[in-house]
Amino acid sequence: MVPLGKVNLIFINMKALPYFILFLFAISYNSYSQKINGVNFVAEKTIISNTGFDHLININSKWVAWVPYAFCDMKTGHIQQNTYWQWQGETLKGCETAIQLAKSKGLKVMIKPHVWLSDHSYTGVMQLNRAQWLNWQTDYTKYILDFANLAQKYNVELFCIGTEQYASIKNYPQYWQSLIKEVRKVYKGKITYAGNWDTYKNCPFWSELDYIGIDAYFPISEKANPSIDELQQNWQKWKIEIYAFHKLHNKAILFTEFGYRSTEYATKEPWKDVTPDKYCESCQADAFQATFNTLWKESWIAGGFIWKWFEPNKSVVHENSKSYFVKEKLAEKTITKNFKFFK
């Protein structure tokens, strides 16, 4: 008798071989099932409507990352959030409504705070003096804990403590370690941080989080319109690097953002949101397909959130928009297909 758990191929009936292969595939597929497949949803000027998430169901998205922006005055370091003048979708009330709606639609939720700077500079290189940093930290802590408490109230599945805050982390790592402890006191779900693709390895507190979050704008081609095969090949060096980091920390990798513009050269510098390049839907779609082909079969990749999504009929997005927006483009079909397969 063949011992349980072992299979001797010599004794497999050839007629049953196709079924055996399917059995092995099912075992393999199970290792990368239950992916976190979602989108980053831009909070809007008004409270989200009752149908605001319906199209996410159509593209097989199981998650939504709600992005409530805050605004930093670079003259003082103070952060403003939940104010009367900002978009309603970004307020605590707007976020609360979005969470309730998402839950009613069967979607899982990540809350992912972002900070805009008044001088329009990049948060990763933010420059503040000591007094300004202290103002920033006081306000940022309140901002994060307000949303962490909201996340706990509604049993939100995932909370992101910050997005691309390299300068702050480099200058004040102890602050962030303290912030994580404060978040853990009020929020009992899983937490992550969204590190940029070129600085995520410099984050000193991954061991204290549940996922290694990466805003995955890795450059994967210098060409205007590379093939999917070329893109997959060029992904390999980044895949090796990310896998090594996963092994080092024994944490699953979550792409807190990944996306491409619908232009030529979309994969050259994917982090640039405005370029003069020509419109190209297939370039965007192929970039997504190469990413799914290369990474989504790996069990150490938890999944990711597409950048980005707007509520239908509320944001003015031209049908030939060269932005990251994917709705009604070829990329939407690509995402729908892969979200269904890697579910």
pLDDT given at position 310: 82
Torsion of CA 76, 78, 83, 84, to 10 degrees: -10
Q: How much is the average pLDDT of 45-72?
A: 96
pLDDT given at position 321: 86
pLDDT at 26 exceeding the cut of 60: no
pLDDT given at position 44: 84
Say how far apart CA 133 and CA 214 lie, in whole Å: 25
Say how far apart CA 181 and CA 184 lie, in whole Å: 5
- Strand, helix or coil for residue 218: coil
pLDDT given at position 24: 39
Say how far apart CA 160 and CA 103 lie, in whole Å: 18
pLDDT, the chain, mean: 90
pLDDT given at position 9: 37
pLDDT at 314 exceeding the cut of 90: no
Report pLDDT digits (tens) over 144-184.
Answer: 999 999 999 999 999 999 999 999 999 999 999 999 999 99
Say how far apart CA 124 and CA 61 lie, in whole Å: 29
pLDDT at 16 exceeding the cut of 70: no
Secondary structure letter of residue 16 according to DSSP: G
pLDDT given at position 249: 98
Q: Which residue segments constitute the domains of the chain, with CATH numbers given?
A: 37-341 (3.20.20.80)
pLDDT at 123 exceeding the cut of 70: yes
pLDDT at 25 exceeding the cut of 60: no
Q: Which is more confidently placed, 196 or 6?
A: 196
pLDDT at 94 exceeding the cut of 80: yes
Task: Give one DSSP letter per residue of 253-303, joined into a string.
Answer: EEEEEE---SBTTTTTSTT-S---PPB-HHHHHHHHHHHHHHHTT-TTEEE
- Residue written as token pair 């090949």: 233
pLDDT at 5 exceeding the cut of 50: no
Q: How many CA atoms lie within 13 A of 252 on its CB side?
A: 22
